[in-house]
A and B are shown apart, each in its own frame.
Chain A
Amino acid sequence: MSTPFDNIKTVFRNAEVKPQRQDLYHLSIPKEQLVALVTHLKEVEGYLHLVQLTAVDWIEKNQFQLTYILNNPTKRLDVMVKTFIDRDNPTMDTIHHMWEQAATYQRELREMFGIDFPGSPRVDKPFILEGWDNIPPYRRDFDTKKYAEETYFPRPGRETNDPKEYMKKKLYPDEI
């Protein structure tokens, strides 16, 4: 089957192409070639818009997956460029020189997953967690519920009522 990415395979042999929908394709690439591939997509193929940069924690494989979603406004095509990085040494090359807004995504990933992007502007500044001193909260080994209960004074007596039964008892007490 031919895809819009066939010519990319000639340049980036390690890239794997997987169609998801007519207008959405997955590209996987080793970490070292990712910036080159994204640059190629932007400069040559016309993927001008960075939709999103996000991460997934594959704790079982000891890896983080980074997903760069790019959009081509003329061809109306989306592509998700995926790469895996080591969970013990999470560093990735920055792409803020191509899209300035990437710096914000990278700052967020740095805070929420602890993935470092050396050279990205203000990447070490707190983003929404000011003074966080635990492991990054989006990592899957962080126990959110336990942390919340220990930190934020839970109110005792939080219980669940069946709304139907509760209202019946309240409105028509004699009928029960």
Chain B
Amino acid sequence: MSKSDLEKRTVMSPDGEPIEINPLQDYFCDAHPKVHEPVLPIFEKFLNWARSESLWVLGFGTGCGAIEMRPLMTPRFDAYRFGIQWRPTPRQSSVFIISGYLSVKTLKRVIRSYEQMQNPKFVIALGSCTINGGMYWDSYNTIKRLDHYLPVDVYIAGCMPRPEAILAGFEKLKELIRQGKGEGANLYAQNFDWYKANQKKIIKDWDMPDYNW
């Protein structure tokens, strides 16, 4: 998609009739994300237990750390026994692993994918690159602090973290979810304007809707 695809224009319908379209309004919902209020604490507790035991990870590797996710799928580390599995689309996943450095170009795709994920959703950030820039701390094209652009639940330090560390990170995430602290999606909704301002500060050719689910 490019910027011109989002502009208002007149197109020909299949019957040969010209129609006016405004893609941002017609194709996308422009409502902001909403904060999800727990219905009944005890029910929410049960839900959180269920969520923590079934983490579906979006198979999207952004940096070198992505290579450490592959061994997790093999019998040696076998993340599946913890209820963790990888999914091909954002619509089916609840965990987004940002696996290392993020260039501005990738960040754009990451934001789109993150916003398409269903609530509740969690973000695990791998490696020092997501924490403070890591070895790309003086790069012209990679971000330094992921938590300025997306709410991060768990950071796993290392360059790159071993699969064992990632498993430990998953255990930590489960703990947080069970305690009801996996509130990333709500945080995102609450501070939506702040996140958007940060994102737009570095993504200069913003050619997508502000919130696209």
Q: Is the interface of A mostly helix, strand, loop or mixed?
A: loop
A152-166 CB mask vs B (1 if < 8 Å, else 0) is 111100100000000
Report the separation of the CA atoms of residues A126 and B205 in the bound assembly, to the nearest whole angstrom. Answer: 11
Total A-B residue contacts, Cβ distance less than 8 Å: 59
CB of A141 within 8 Å of the partner chain? no
Q: Give the total of A residues in contact with B, Cβ under 8 Å.
A: 20
Contact A155 B131 (CB under 8 A): yes
* Chain B residue contacts of A129, Cβ below 8 A: 104-105, 141
Interface residue A151 (Cβ < 8 Å from any Cβ of B): yes
Q: What's the least CB distance linking A83 to chain B, in Å?
A: 27
Partner of B141, one of A128, A133, A149, A153: A128
Q: Which residues on B sit within 8 Å (CB–CB) of A153?
A: 143-145, 148, 198
Are B108 and A148 within 8 A (Cβ)? no
Q: A58 an interface residue at 8 Å Cβ cutoff?
A: no
Asked whether any CB of chain B lies closer than 8 Å to the CB of A144, the reply is yes
Which of A130, A149, A155, A158 has a CB less than 8 Å from the CB of B105?
A130
Chain A residues positioned under 8 Å from B104 (CB to CB): 129-130
Expressed in whole angstroms, the Cα–Cα distance for A130 and B204 within the complex equals 7
Residue A99 is within 8 A (CB to CB) of chain B in the complex: no
Let me know if B139 and A131 touch, CB within 8 A.
no
Contacts of A155 in B (CB 8 A): 131-133, 144-145
Q: Which of B187-213 contact A (CB under 8 A)?
A: 198, 201-206
6 additional A-B pairs beyond A129-B141, A154-B133, beta carbons within 8 Å, are A128-B141, A130-B104, A130-B204, A148-B144, A152-B142, A152-B145
Residues of A bordering B, CB below 8 Å: 126, 128-133, 137, 142, 144-145, 147-149, 151-155, 158
